[in-house]
Amino acid sequence: MVNQNDATGGYSSEWARDIPRKRISTPYSLRENLVWLKNNLVGPSKKYKRLTSFIPKKSTLNEVTPKCSLGFLGDIMKMGKKDLQIDPAVKDFFKGVDFLVGNFEGTISKAKKVFMAQEHSEGILSSLETFFPPSKFVLSCANNHSGDFGWSEFNRSYQMLKERGFRVIGRRDEPSILLNNSVNITSCTYWSNQPNTPYVGYFNQAAEFFNPKADCNILFPHWGYEMQLYPNPKQIDLGKELLKQWDLIVGHHSHVPQPIASYDNKVIAYGLGDFCIGLMLKKYQYGIVVKVELGPGQTGQWQVGAVEWKFTYLHKIDKNLMEVRLEDECEYFK
């Protein structure tokens, strides 16, 4: 638990110090790094293709009385020196949703970085502000890049998001948010690129963050493996087990789209790919946007009702500008 009575302004003294970091920002073992390298060179991987499939792009899982609508998008990665704009059709897709949820991957920082760190510039916030009202935009900061710059820079970036009006979750003492006094969204990460990042919420702590008083509990985990189009058997089994407690799971970290599946009328989106990224590599530029309706079903228990999703692709406009657009297909699933 967080010690709220120490001399560090409400944070654990273990958090409020910068611990030496690894020189390279990666969460994987040697074997996992070799697989990651292979998938980046020749992938993305289609291994385990036969184990999962997408639900239709417009689906109704349960008949509910809609009380809340949520939108989700893929990883918000650093844009480097490029600007980001969002096509009006993407904005129209989310028109009418009560809240939008995304994974803010990285840290707004100009500090000295380690290799492969994710450093955002403040310009990304202007793009997000014109896309969706910050007061209704939930940004998760629990991901494998949370520790790239250490505690001080992480928290400075975290507070900056708040000051710009965004709803921010993912810090160890703020892993969840309760929306409209009904819907609890819990953010956590399975991975950390640095060994000492006690200030974020972790996957093995997720059960602590479940809110039994909420009408609906949604898990928003940073999990799985990068450049893999399909979850492996262990992740599938884990997802099914988690759905016994959680009402909806929307994952991130894969950097490529992964199936949005359904088990026992509950939805699990394994990974939404990338919403934006400055890398000019096609395999990193596909994502998924999804919106869901939530509300009480016939028994009065809240469930997922209507679901709609579409692929996105990040198009190059010129050398300094990229634009997110909706796409009918993703070539990797043809």
Map out the domains of the chain with their CATH numbers: 30-329 (3.60.21)
- Arithmetic mean of pLDDT, 34-49: 89
Confidence (pLDDT) at 13:
62
Name the residue type at position 330: C
For residue 2, the model assigns a pLDDT of 31
Average pLDDT of the segment spanning 224-232: 96
pLDDT band, residue 294 (cuts 50/70/90): very high
- Greater confidence (6 vs 319) lies with 319
Instruction: Tell me the mean pLDDT in the region 27-33.
Output: 83
Q: Using the predicted structure, report yes or no on whether residue 123 has a pLDDT greater than 80.
A: yes
Tokens of 47: 């291994």
Distance CA 142, CA 323 (A): 26
SS3 218: strand
Q: For the chain, give the percent of residues with pLDDT over 70.
A: 95
Query: Among residues 261, 145, 267, which one has the least CA distance to residue 218?
Result: 267
- The mean pLDDT of 145-170, rounded to a whole number, is 96
Pure H helices in the chain: 30-42, 88-93, 123-131, 150-163, 206-209, 233-242
Residue 277: is its pLDDT beyond 70?
Answer: yes
pLDDT higher than threshold 60 for residue 48: yes
Q: What is the four-CA torsion angle of 158, 159, 161, 165, rounded to 10 degrees?
A: 150
Buried/exposed code over 217-232 (b: 16+ C-beta within 10 A; e: otherwise): bbbbbbbbbbbbbbbe
Average pLDDT over the chain, rounded to an integer: 92
